[in-house]
């Protein structure tokens, strides 16, 4: 298949690494702490804010990452959008040569070393807007770190059975993969963990150093109520609950719905966490028949792009705060 590369042309983050070293603006300084591989730096990042509102303001003002569009030609009634850090990497190659072979693929490459403002939500939206130029029936959102179970012919056959005007999103069969298309419940005591998983791990994981736990308590004091896991059980009363399917790292959207959204699928305030949870919950509020599940299976690895561990958990706190601020009132 032919592959063409298109530069997005909208550079909003600095590319000169030397200029970053001498840049002392507050957004950049905080971003350096936030993206650090040192947990102490990320904790210090949170301590620079006086309130959760000021943290959310920073998240909204943070520059967008640089994106490059790489297209692989194929049938355009079903288009695949894949955010990736390396379009030539082994995972992207598997998507191109095996998993989605024959479909038109739009890789949105971002997160290069010289770009400190990588945001998968923004990269994905760039891809969706590009896909709309071809007026497809379906637009697939997929992480690059997937593996093949069913052939793409099964996916095409299943989608041909559905009218894209009747549903907003189509989910694959989640078994045996549990990183997409899985059931989620918000609005119960169980969902207290869902709203603040990072805090839960930090306070209950016995491997945490006392100094780290102390600093996290200091952060909670800064944000003032609701963020400490213990307070959630005693102070917040959940009167409503909602069960829905979470997108995770794979979902198929109606081209009609994406066009109605003008390609702005994910909330770009989130920084590499909870953007799919946000979208999944918002979709579930539209109507009871907003989705279908098809007999197509695709597998997924976990943590290959963003990694796993304490630093990712710490960064996720920002998304926890924004998610709570945006939706907690729905369940009180």
Q: How confident is the model at residue 176 (pLDDT cuts 50, 70, 90)?
A: low
**Confidence (pLDDT) at 307:** 56
> In sequence order, what DSSP letters do the residues of 16-33 get, joined into one string?
-HHHHHT---HHHHHHHH
> In sequence order, what DSSP letters do the residues of 194-227 get, joined into one string?
HHTHHHHHHHH-TTS-HHHHHHHHHHHHHH-SSS
- Which pLDDT tens digit goes with each residue over 249-258? 999 999 999 9
- Which pLDDT tens digit goes with each residue over 7-19? 443 333 444 444 4
Q: Which of 38-42, 65-69, 92-96, 233-237 has the lowest mean pLDDT?
A: 233-237
- Which pLDDT tens digit goes with each residue over 282-319? 999 887 889 999 999 999 886 556 555 788 888 888 88
**Confidence (pLDDT) at 225:** 33
Domains and CATH numbers, the chain: 1-183+248-303 (3.90.550)
Q: Three-state SS for 326?
A: helix
Phi, psi of 50 (to 5 degrees): -90, -20
Among residues 105, 99, 122, 244, which one has the least CA distance to residue 171?
A: 244
Do strands 169-171 and 138-142 pair parallel, antiparallel, or not at all (unpaired)? unpaired
Q: How confident is the model at residue 104 (pLDDT cuts 50, 70, 90)?
A: very high
d(CA 53, CA 215): 20
Q: Which of 75-84, 262-271, 288-297 has the lowest mean pLDDT?
A: 288-297
> In sequence order, what DSSP letters do the residues of 271-283 get, joined into one string?
-SSSHHHHHHHHH
- With tokens 């561990």, the residue in question is 309
Q: Three-state SS string across 105-159, please?
A: EEEEECCCCCCCCCCHHHHHHHHHHHHHCCCCCEEEEECCCEEECCCHHHHHHHH
What value does the mean pLDDT take over residues 139-149? 95
Query: What is the pTM assigned to this prediction?
Result: 0.81
């Amino acid at each position: 298949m032919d592959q063409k590369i298109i530069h997005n042309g909208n550079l909003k983050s600095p590319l000169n690494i030397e200029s970053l070293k001498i840049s002392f603006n507050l957004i950049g300084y905080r971003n350096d702490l936030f993206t650090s591989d040192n947990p102490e730096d990320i904790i210090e990042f949170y301590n620079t804010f006086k309130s959760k509102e000021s943290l959310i303001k920073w998240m909204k003002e943070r520059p967008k990452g640089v994106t490059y569009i790489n297209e692989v030609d194929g049938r355009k009634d079903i288009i695949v959008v894949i955010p990736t850090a390396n379009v030539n990497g082994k995972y992207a190659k598997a998507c191109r040569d095996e998993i989605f072979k024959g479909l038109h693929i739009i890789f949105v490459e971002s997160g290069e070393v010289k770009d400190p403002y990588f945001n998968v939500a923004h990269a994905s939206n760039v891809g969706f807007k590009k896909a709309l130029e071809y007026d497809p029936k379906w637009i697939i959102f997929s992480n690059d770190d997937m593996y093949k179970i069913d052939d793409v012919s099964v996916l095409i056959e299943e989608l041909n059975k559905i009218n894209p005007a009747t549903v907003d999103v189509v989910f694959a069969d989640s078994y045996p993969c549990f990183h997409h298309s899985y059931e989620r419940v918000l609005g119960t005591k169980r969902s207290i963990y869902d709203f603040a998983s990072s805090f839960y791990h930090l306070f209950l994981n016995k491997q945490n150093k006392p100094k780290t736990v102390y600093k996290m308590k200091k952060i909670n004091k800064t944000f003032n109520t609701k963020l400490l896991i213990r307070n959630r059980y005693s102070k917040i009363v959940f009167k409503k609950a909602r069960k829905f399917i979470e997108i995770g790292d794979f979902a198929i959207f109606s081209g009609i719905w994406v066009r109605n959204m003008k390609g702005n699928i994910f909330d770009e305030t989130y920084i590499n966490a909870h953007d799919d949870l946000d979208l999944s919950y918002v979709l579930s509020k539209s109507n009871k028949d907003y989705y279908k599940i098809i007999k197509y299976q695709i597998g997924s690895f976990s943590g290959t792009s963003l990694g796993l561990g304490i630093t990712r958990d710490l960064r996720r706190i920002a998304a926890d705060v924004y998610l709570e601020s945006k939706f907690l009132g729905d369940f009180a």
